[in-house]
Structure 1
């Protein structure tokens, strides 16, 4: 299957998940609002998710997939690969149980580290944040199990089930919020909804683990429980996964540092960042996760066969495709972010001022959107070569830059400075990853690709100018009736899309030959 089709499968289902997530956050904004219970929930939800991203999102898969692929035989015999997966699960399950138990006991201390003054000064709100985090934290254990099954399915080029799994999380949360949305608003109701949300998160983890386990079973993987043993294969995985976790850990340490800086900001900052990040995550999740997930197995196979030309071509196509999709998205959201936040979030407990603040955060976040996606596209080139250390070093350097920028920007720009610091440090990480790949001869941008990237950037800049000129004409509609909001957003998206497409075709930024290569059709 071609890169574009794999990305289309993952990206299409991720789009459905992100849309559900967007609906979830619209409900969150209107039901819980910014500050108070809304901030307490964002803090509680962040804690299991940071640890999930530390282990379950990227670090484990990046080490597991190449080893799993190596144990798959050409004649379809999966016995060795299945035994490897069973040995990994046998060691993983006790670790997850012990870690989760320790985190539940220490949750008041953990939450206390990152609670802002609005939460920590209200004992009832602080206790609620701790309770919500405890109710949600088992989600981590179930999602880590789901990651094993997802890695197996991705290795078999069965991407759909894993890409669809996050939809279950959003359905569970939307269900809890909908029950609250139809009742009269009150402080007591908001607190009850917070507890329902914590329970819904854990239920979604159970459902995702069962969903992916069932699909792995359908593909012939009858996983049996074994007694935990540190076999040679498990030790090999540990040697690879620890640096990968440290690399992901550097990023998650950055998230913890962000939480620390958020705790110094006024009430509402947690919610503004979370709601702004949702808009940023729409293209990031659809494009970045899809590309990163799709190219790792293919790169692993090219490198295992010593097909350096194939690996180079795949990496080059992925970079070009990433920028073709993310640069116009970043420019459009930078210019029109406040229009989207006003149209989608304003209402109920979320005021117009909250939406405008969120729009400023969106503009700062999307400065780094192409960089975040390029990170996900370049890192598999290291993991496919079983080099999980280099990304740790580059991420560590980016973390130092991020901390320095936080000290510089947060006191001056508040939560917007926090978002901007992350964007700049992401670009620094991309520059370091690319420089190392180029110096080792693994990958470099050809003159043709650089030329096309320049044309993509020019086309996006033209689109940005059109949107900048058009934005004021719809200002009275962005916070109007439902019909006015929907119509104004559709008009902005259509105008931006047409402007970019016309400019890209005139500048020849979209190359038919490359698209045909990606689709594996004759040009």
Structure 2
């Protein structure tokens, strides 16, 4: 992989500047929405073909291990450390950008190669660590380990993809990274239907889908890096590998990244702890948590992660320019946008838990009992949605200033709190207690992040948000009334055809959204106000 060294990467993007942060966020949200809708189609396909049985449990664990490490390592700690450093090089040392990218690529690739090799060799032990309950069933353990050996190379492929995405996002090319996950969903859907009839163990079709998707996602982004003349060259000698680790930018990224491994992705660690404990519960618990988590991930990914993706490079530039006032306004803008979306999304998920799960997943091997159990954990996760999204905005406030130590301390405290909540709740509420523990620890995490920014003199006065929150509360009341009035009994959802379910659910969501945004419009919240970083009119 190489690009002509004579080309100079663009110093700025006038198109992104004209579009603005809200426009960029909406662009990322739109692309992410396509991916999430296909992700729901993927999960519907899995539920249809495999339900919530032992095979599905095995795949979800085999996929969750590399996927967890991807979010923790590549899209988490690495991204939060790499983007601020790359932004600084772009602003202050543009001629050094390509050498930095080349050195980071070599260092990252070498780590991924070693980690992937060790994981494939030690797959049975990894399964035992991440899902100890599977050790009670030798066949379940062996099946999961075999699939993990197939899915783990996805970590290396998707980490390199995340590396490419970080570069594109830094140069305000948000659409391509946001669209990239579409290929994972398309690959899993295609393999589920096309390979399943030909395999002795049908669930292996999903493992093949993950591996194929990793290759496609990486290849997809390379031409867009080439357009920016930022495609990293392949190392030509051992000396190049050695020089990469000695590069000052790589050392700075490592210094920022190592503590961030805990601080930036606490919610993912908490979800993994849920999986470990769920493997000790009744069969289906892992799958119930997976399906409910997938629905919470829809608004979180479409809006929360989209806002965080757009805001981090902008915060990094404001920090480089030493404009703390603008830095604080950007964070407040992010908080306003998160509250606008997260509050109605959380309420909607709680009110429509069974209708959503029934409409999307209750076909084929997915039974009514599975829907009832998954709805319990969905409501618990939904309680924490606001906190999950707030974390996505508050954490970049530290990483953009190249402060990773404070979120680490906060992250460790939140992890410990999650463990305590898990032990207190799992014995009485089973898998629902695990989801509730994750939500409670997320609120603590968000609160401690806010306090850290406040003590740093960045978020010193949020009084402007209270009139805004009161208006949102009125909209939430209207949403709840609209959904409740249009609701149907649970037995109706179980008995209805798929098209009746779909139309009724779409009507309820539409009525709720119209009531919510209609009340906000009557109370004076306008689109134009959301596009600026200034406080909304009270």
Q: Would the TM-score normalized by the shorter structure come out above 0.5?
A: yes
Number of the residue aligned with 1:225: 234
Task: Indicate the RMSD between aligned Cα atoms, in angstroms.
Answer: 2.1
Structure 2 counterpart of 1:207: 216
CA contact (8 A) 1:331 1:461 kept: no
- Which of 317, 324, 333 is matched with 1:317 structurally? 333
Q: Secondary structure of the equivalent of 1:264?
A: coil
**Residues of 2 paired with 1:84 and 1:295: CA distance?**
22
Contact 2:260–2:404 under 8 Å retained in 1: yes
Q: Which residue of 2 aligns with 1:368?
A: 384
- Give the distance between the partners of 2:152 and 2:433, measured in 1 at CA: 29
CA-to-aligned-CA distance 1:149-173 (integer Å, 9 cap, x gap): 1111111000111111111111110
Residue 222 to residue 336, structure 1, CA distance change in 2 (3 Å): closer
Per the alignment, do residues 88 and 114 of structure 1 end up closer, same or farther by CA in structure 2, a change over 3 Å counting?
closer
1:108, CA displacement in angstroms?
0.4
Tell me if 1:36 matches 2:51.
Answer: no
Q: Deviations over 1:60-106 (max 9, x none)?
A: 111111111111258xx843111001011111211111111111111
Deviations 1:432-486 (A, max 9, x none): 1111111221124532222102221332133123323432357514541122111
Asked if 1 retains the 8 angstrom alpha-carbon contact of 2:40 and 2:360, the reply is: no
For 1:372-521, what aligned pairs fall within 5 Å after superposition? 372-472=388-488, 476-477=492-493, 479-508=495-524, 510-517=525-532
Confirm whether residue 103 of structure 1 aligns to residue 113 of structure 2: no
- Structure 2 equivalent of residue 5 of structure 1: 23
Matches within 5 A, 1:184-199: 192-199=201-208
Quote the Cα distance in structure 2 between the aligned partners of 1:384 and 1:116.
38
Aligned to 2:158: 143
Cross-structure match for 1:69: 87
Which runs of structure 2 are paired with 1:109-120 in the superposition (5 Å)?
A: 109-115=125-131, 117=133, 119-120=134-135
Gaps of 5+ in 2: 1-16
Instruction: Check the 8 A contact 2:315/2:330 in 1, yes or no.
Output: yes
Deviations 1:187-245 (A, max 9, x none): x96x6332221122122111111112221111111321232132222111111111112
Structure 1 distance, partners of 2:399, 2:136, is: 45
Q: State how 1:115-126 maps to structure 2 within 5 Å.
A: 115=131, 117=133, 119-126=134-141
Residues 156-165 or 434-443, more deviating: 434-443
Which residue of the other structure, out of 145, 148, 153, is the alignment partner of 1:130?
A: 145
Q: Secondary structure at the match of 1:71?
A: helix
Q: Which residue of 1 aligns with 2:352?
A: 336
CA distance in 2: counterparts of 1:249 and 1:323, whole angstroms: 21
- Contact (CA 8 Å) 2:48, 2:361: kept in 1 or not? yes
Q: How many residues align?
A: 510
Find the residue that maps to 1:72 and give its secondary structure.
Answer: helix
Among 68, 80, 99, the residue aligned to 1:83: 99
The residue that corresponds to 2:38 in the other structure is 20
Aligned equivalents of 1:474, 1:107: Cα separation in 2: 42
Rounded to whole Å, the distance in 2 between the matches of 1:449 and 1:168 is: 39
Which of 253, 263, 266 matches 2:282?
A: 266
Equivalent pair of 1:317/1:514 in contact (CA under 8 Å): no
CA distance, structure 1, for counterparts of residue 516 and residue 457 of structure 2 = 34
Determine the structure 2 residue equivalent to 1:281: 297
SS of 1:224's partner is coil
Distance 1:434 1:373 in 2: 13
Given candidates 322, 325, 336, the residue that maps to 1:306 is: 322
Q: What is the CA distance between 1:293 and its match in structure 2?
A: 0.7
TM (normalized to structure 2)?
Answer: 0.90
Residue equivalent to 1:56: 74
Per-residue deviation, 1:354? 0.8
Distance 2:409 2:533 in 1: 32
Sort the Cα spacing of 1:282 and 1:241 in 2 relative to 1 into closer, same or farther, 3 A.
same
- The aligned counterpart of 2:13 is none
Q: Distance in 1 between matches of 2:224 and 2:455?
A: 41
Given that 2:60 and 2:287 are in contact with CA atoms closer than 8 Å, whether structure 1 keeps it comes out as yes
Structure 1 residues 297-335: Cα deviation after superposition (integer angstroms, max 9, x where no partner): 111111211222211221111110111011001101111
User: Per-residue displacement from partner, 1:233-284 (whole Å, max 9, x unpaired)?
Assistant: 2111111111112324654443342222112210000110111111111100
What secondary structure does 2:280 align onto? coil
2:474 and 2:308 map into 1 onto residues whose CA distance is: 26
CA gap of 1:511–1:295, structure 2 versus 1, over 3 A, is same
Contact 2:271/2:438 (<8 A) preserved? no
Distance 1:267 1:473, change over 3 A: closer
TM-score (norm 1): 0.93
Q: Do the aligned partners of residues 487 and 478 (structure 1) sit closer, same or farther apart at CA in structure 2, a change above 3 Å counting?
A: farther
Contact 1:334–1:366 (CA<8 Å) still a contact in 2? yes
Find the partner of 1:47 among 62, 65, 83: 65
Q: 2:358·2:493 contact (CA, 8 Å) conserved in 1?
A: no
CA distance in 2, matches of 1:322, 1:478: 34
